Chain A
Amino acid sequence: MKRAALLCVIALAVPAAALGSGPRITVLAASSLTNAFPAISSAPRYSFAGSDQLAFQIEQGAQADVFAAASPKYPEALYAKKLVYEPVVFATNRLVVIVPSKNPAHIGSVYDLKRHGVRVVLGAVGVPIGDYTRKVLAKLGLNAVLKNVVSDEPDVRSIVAKVALGEADAGFVYVTDVLSANGKVATVTIPARGQPTVKYEIAVIRSTKHLAAAQTFVREVLSRNGRGKLRLFGFGLP
Chain B
Amino acid sequence: MSRRAFTAGLVATTTVALAFLLLPLVALFLRVSPGTLFGQLGNPVATDAVLVSLKTSAIAHALVLLFGTPAAYLLATNRFRGRPLVLSLVELPLVLPPAVAGIGLLAAFGRLGLLGSTLDAFGVQVGLTQTAVVLAVAFVEMPFYLRGAVAAFEAVDTTLLDAARTLGARPARVFARVALPLALGGLGASSAVALARGLGEFGATIIFAGSLQGVTQTLPLAIYAELDRNFDAALAIGALFVLLGLALLAALRLVPLWTRSVSTSRFRSAPSVSS
Q: Is residue B53 contacting chain A, with contact meaning CB distance below 8 A? A: no
Contact between B229 and A125, CB atoms less than 8 A apart: yes
- Total A residues in contact with B, Cβ cutoff 8 Å: 22
Contact between B227 and A56, CB atoms less than 8 A apart: yes
Q: Is residue A121 contacting chain B, with contact meaning CB distance below 8 A? A: yes
Chain B 199-242 near chain A by CB (<8 Å), digits 1 or 0 = 00000000001111101110000001101110100000000000
Q: Is residue A157 contacting chain B, with contact meaning CB distance below 8 A? A: no
- Total B residues in contact with A, Cβ cutoff 8 Å: 23
- Find residues 149-169 in chain A having any chain B CB closer than 8 Å to their own CB: 149-154, 162, 165-168
Contact between B228 and A52, CB atoms less than 8 A apart: yes
Contact between A124 and B225, CB atoms less than 8 A apart: yes
Enumerate the 10 nearest inter-chain pairs by beta-carbon distance, A residue then B residue, closest first.
A151-B210, A56-B228, A167-B127, A166-B111, A150-B128, A166-B112, A52-B228, A126-B229, A167-B128, A151-B212
User: Can you list 17 A-B pairs with a CB-CB distance of less than 8 A?
Assistant: A50-B228, A53-B228, A56-B228, A119-B128, A124-B211, A124-B225, A125-B229, A150-B129, A151-B209, A151-B216, A152-B210, A153-B211, A154-B225, A166-B110, A166-B116, A167-B110, A167-B210
Q: Is residue A55 contacting chain B, with contact meaning CB distance below 8 A? A: yes
- Say whether, besides A151-B128, A165-B110, A53 and B211 are in contact (CB < 8 Å): no
A-B contact sample (14 more), CB < 8 A, given A165-B127, A166-B116: A52-B229, A53-B228, A124-B211, A126-B229, A150-B129, A151-B212, A152-B210, A152-B212, A152-B213, A152-B217, A165-B106, A166-B111, A166-B112, A167-B210
* Distance (whole angstroms) from the CB of B210 to the closest CB of chain A: 3
B residues with a Cβ closer than 8 A to A are 106, 110-112, 116, 125, 127-129, 209-213, 215-217, 224-225, 227-229, 231
| Chain A, Cβ-Cβ closest to B125 | A119
Residue from the list A50, A55, A104, A150 in contact with B210, Cβ < 8 A: A150
Instruction: Kindly state the separation between the CA atoms of A119 and B126 in the bound complex, as whole angstroms.
Output: 12
* Distance (whole angstroms) from the CB of A106 to the closest CB of chain B: 15
Instruction: Kindly state the separation between the CA atoms of A168 and B126 in the bound complex, as whole angstroms.
Output: 11
Instruction: Kindly state the separation between the CA atoms of A81 and B106 in the bound complex, as whole angstroms.
Output: 42
Residue from the list B112, B212, B227 in contact with A165, Cβ < 8 A: B112
List, in ascending order, chain B residues with CB within 8 A of A162's CB.
Answer: 128, 210
Instruction: Kindly state the separation between the CA atoms of A191 and B115 in the bound complex, as whole angstroms.
Output: 37
Instruction: Kindly state the separation between the CA atoms of A154 and B225 in the bound complex, as whole angstroms.
Output: 7
Contact between B212 and A150, CB atoms less than 8 A apart: yes
Chain A 100-138 near chain B by CB (<8 Å), digits 1 or 0 = 000010000000000000010100111000000000000
Instruction: Kindly state the separation between the CA atoms of A126 and B229 in the bound complex, as whole angstroms.
Output: 7
Residue from the list B106, B212, B225, B229 in contact with A167, Cβ < 8 A: B106
Instruction: Kindly state the separation between the CA atoms of A166 and B210 in the bound complex, as whole angstroms.
Output: 13
* Distance (whole angstroms) from the CB of A130 to the closest CB of chain B: 11
Instruction: Kindly state the separation between the CA atoms of A167 and B209 in the bound complex, as whole angstroms.
Output: 9
Contact between B110 and A151, CB atoms less than 8 A apart: no
Contact between A126 and B111, CB atoms less than 8 A apart: no
List, in ascending order, chain A residues with CB within 8 A of B217's CB.
Answer: 152
List, in ascending order, chain B residues with CB within 8 A of A55's CB.
Answer: 228
Interface centre among B116, B211, B215 (most CB of A within 10 A): B211
* Distance (whole angstroms) from the CB of B93 to the closest CB of chain A: 21
List, in ascending order, chain B residues with CB within 8 A of A154's CB.
Answer: 211, 224-225
Contact between B111 and A165, CB atoms less than 8 A apart: yes
| Chain B, Cβ-Cβ closest to A159 | B210
- Say whether, besides A119-B128, A162-B128, A167-B106, A152 and B211 are in contact (CB < 8 Å): yes
List, in ascending order, chain B residues with CB within 8 A of A125's CB.
Answer: 229
Instruction: Kindly state the separation between the CA atoms of A166 and B110 in the bound complex, as whole angstroms.
Output: 8
* Distance (whole angstroms) from the CB of B56 to the closest CB of chain A: 15
Contact between B225 and A152, CB atoms less than 8 A apart: yes
* Distance (whole angstroms) from the CB of B180 to the closest CB of chain A: 40
